[in-house]
Amino acid sequence: MGTPQHVSVMAMLPPLWLMCVLWGFATATGEDCKDNVTVHVYNLLYSKKIPPSIYVPLIAGFNASVHAGRKKLPAGVNLNVLHPPSLELGVTPEWLSGNVKRLNERDIPIVVGPVGDLPLLAFLPVLNEHNAVAFSPFTGSSTTRVWNKNLYFITASPTAELLALLRYAVTQLRLERLGFMYLQGVSFGDEEYRLTVNALSNIGRELCGLFTVKSSIAGAAPDAEFNAAWEQFAETRPQGVIVFAPSIKDV
């Protein structure tokens, strides 16, 4: 669903909340802190399940902004950014838990990310155990977009983005034939398809065509099944298509 411009905008968001958090700590402890507070920021934006072209710009923007803002940190606040030891292995709940356990009482752990619904669910027990907050997790669906003391979302939910796309397609582009594409078995897409059907039905509209096949994060649908579904979808001749799927082989 994202575009290069969309990714660039999101890359600028983490430093904004990070500086707000650090200023908040300074306000709470006074302008001249007698005891230093160290904020440990764990970068969980790395992921083996998404292309580097997506997470590398996010991390680069985050690192550049943090480097430029270090001199503006409030008195008594230290910043320590931690990255996973190996990009090939990515980040795991065990890595995060092991690092946080070594902190002392004056240390404050916060997290950037993670990326994806399943990784977020995997990290939740660790966040809850250590009373840490994950800022700006990126999710493909709205399943995890519920109130949680350990999560702080700073981007629009996928449901909100989907409704915005529908509104634009219907009221601005005035498309008569709108198609929808999603993959089954990748943790999201089914619910968003049902939402699209219901939203269009409420205004007396319907999708002209649907493309969907069973897929997976690690694999791909059989070529024959994929091609047959594509030919059937192409015959509906959509003027515009909403694609709701992660960046995997079938996409």
What is the pLDDT at residue 35? 65
Helix then strand count (H, E) for the chain reads 8, 8
User: Is 3.40.50.1820 the CATH classification of the domain at 34-153?
Assistant: no
| pLDDT tens per residue, range 106-164 | 899 999 989 888 889 999 999 999 999 998 898 877 888 889 999 999 888 888 999 99
Q: H or E stretch including 5?
A: helix 4-11
Compute the distance between CA of residue 182 and CA of residue 188 in angstroms, rounded to an integer.
Answer: 8
Residue 134 near residue 44, CB atoms below 8 Å: yes
What is the pLDDT at residue 6? 38
Fold classification of 158-244 is: Rossmann fold (3.40.50)
Instruction: State the helix-helix crossing angle for 117-129 and 93-100, rounded to 10 degrees.
Output: 20
For residues 186-195, one letter each, b for 16 or more C-beta atoms within 10 angstroms of the residue's C-beta and e for the rest, the string is bbbbbbbbeb
Q: How confident is the model at residue 8 (pLDDT cuts 50, 70, 90)?
A: very low
40 token code pair: 């440990």
What is the pLDDT at residue 22? 52
190 token code pair: 């089914």
H runs (alpha helix) in 130-180: 158-167
Compute the distance between CA of residue 84 and CA of residue 235 in angstroms, rounded to an integer.
Answer: 47
Mean pLDDT, the chain, rounded, equals 82
- Which residue would you say has higher pLDDT here, 25 or 182? 182
Residue closest to 154 by CA, chosen among 21, 40, 63, 41: 21
Distances (CA, A) of 13 to 7, 162, 223: 10, 21, 39
Whole-prediction pTM: 0.71
167 token code pair: 């509104």
Stretch(es) of the chain classified as CATH 3.40.50.2300? 34-153, 158-244
Asked whether the CA dihedral 201, 207, 210, 215 is positive or negative, the reply is negative
Q: How far is CA 96 from the centre of its chain?
A: 18
| pLDDT tens per residue, range 175-200 | 999 999 998 877 678 889 999 999 99
| pLDDT tens per residue, range 78-92 | 889 998 877 666 788
| pLDDT tens per residue, range 216-233 | 766 778 889 999 999 999
Whether residue 15 has a cis bond before it, omega within 30° of 0: no
Which residue is associated with the tokens 């582009």?
173
- Which residue would you say has higher pLDDT here, 176 or 247? 176
